[in-house]
Amino acid sequence: MLKKKIKDCFLNSPYSSTKHDSYFNTYDELFSKYIDKDITFVEIGVLNGGSLFMWKDYFGDKARIIGIDNNINAKYWEKYGFEIFIGNQSDVNFWESFKNNIGKVDIILDDGGHLDYQQAVTLFENIDNINEDGLIVIEDIHSSYMKEFGNPSKFSFTNLVTKLIDKINYRSSHLNKNLNFLKLPICEIRIFESIYAFRINKKKSGISKEVINNGKFFGFKDLRHSNTSISKAQNLIKKISFLKNIPILGSIFKNLYIKYIRDKLYTIYLKREKKKLMRKYFK
């Protein structure tokens, strides 16, 4: 059977909704696996109700569709079987009572006020209320770049997301673990045009413990550093290593060498090379 397309559901909705055309592929990509499943789907931002009908049509009758808006008029849509909650998405207390009332949900889609702190509150206040492997999706991310939303700014939602990327990467066993932000159960951040999707999965968000090997070992030489600045630094280190053999001076050098010179040389060479090779990709 052909899978339903969200754009068809949008076009068939009896009431008005406004969505960017590029979002429909993203919705299909993120949400198609939930079609005909017994899920709870929440959209922040109801307005003229059209998107509620679109979601119901798309996910099917088993889905529980909930709308949140700070406009009391949104209650109008309850008569069509939608659950509507009136509240402010930037209010932590609103989320507390919403969560107590509804319990865990599978997907939250934020199409509300689009201010950075509204997006941040929505993400952080709901992380603990998503069923394992569910999603928090924030849309209209172009607000991170728009004057009307006080951007560009160090405190844009997009800049916050780069911090979250750091948090995910810092789970690596290669990196220092003395950071206090490692416990977030976000296992994946997907970036689409104007949409960020955060997958919440506790199991997949653990700290990675070790590097492991498998199979037969051939012992082939790893050439990852050949022809890079590291190999140049290694050559220089070899050249000056004769200093270690000079009496007295040699042992001082040996200590300094291990502690400072070797690593510093690598860093100086690597940074110089990086600047030269990477600059063009940052344009």
Ligand X SMILES: C[S@@+](CC[C@H](N)C(=O)[O-])C[C@H]1O[C@@H](n2cnc3c(N)ncnc32)[C@H](O)[C@@H]1O
Q: Which is nearer to ligand X, 89 or 143 (CB)?
A: 89
CA distance 205 to 104: 19
- Examine residue 173 and tell whether it contacts ligand X (CB under 6 A): no
Nearest approach in angstroms of CB 49 to ligand X is 8
At its nearest, how many Å lie between ligand X and the CB of residue 191? 21
Shortest separation between residue 118's beta carbon and ligand X, angstroms: 5
How many residues touch ligand X (CB under 6 A)? 21
Q: State yes or no: residue 111 binds ligand X (CB under 6 A).
A: yes
Q: Site residues for ligand X, window 40-79 (CB under 6 A)?
A: 43-47, 50-51, 68-71
Q: How many CB atoms lie within 10 A of CB 51?
A: 24
Distance CA 104, CA 131 (A): 6
State CA 68 to chain mean position distance.
Answer: 23
Rounded to a whole number of angstroms, the minimum distance from the CB of residue 109 to ligand X is 8
And the tokens for 181?
Answer: 């932000």
Question: Which of the stretches 12-20, 75-83, 95-103, 195-203 binds ligand X when contact is defined by CB under 6 A?
Answer: 12-20
Contact in structure between 152 and 196 (CB atoms under 8 Å): no
Interface with ligand X in residues 131-160 (CB under 6 A) = none
Q: How far apart are CA 212 and CA 234, in angstroms?
A: 27
What residues does 110 pair with on adjacent strands?
44, 138
Taking the complex as a whole, how short is the minimal distance between the CB of residue 44 and ligand X, in angstroms? 6
| CB nearer ligand X, residue 76 or residue 170 | 76
* Minimum CB distance to ligand X, residue 120 (Å): 12
Token pair of 149, please? 């939303």
Answer yes or no: are the C-beta atoms of 62 and 37 closer than 8 Å.
yes
Closer to ligand X by CB, 114 or 171: give it: 114
- Residues with Cβ within 8 Å of 147's Cβ and at least 6 positions away in sequence, in order, are none
Query: Can you read off the two tokens belonging to residue 281?
Result: 């990709």
If one asks whether residue 89 binds ligand X (CB under 6 A), the answer comes out as: yes
Q: Which is nearer to ligand X, 119 or 156 (CB)?
A: 119
Nearest to 97 by CA among 129, 144, 51: 129
Our CB check for ligand X shows the closer of 113 and 134 to be 113
Nearer to ligand X, 43 or 57 (CB): 43
Q: Does 9 bind ligand X (CB under 6 A)?
A: no
- Give kind and range of the element (H or E) at residue 50: helix 50-59
Binding site residues, ligand X, CB under 6 A:
17-19, 43-47, 50-51, 68-71, 88-90, 111-113, 118
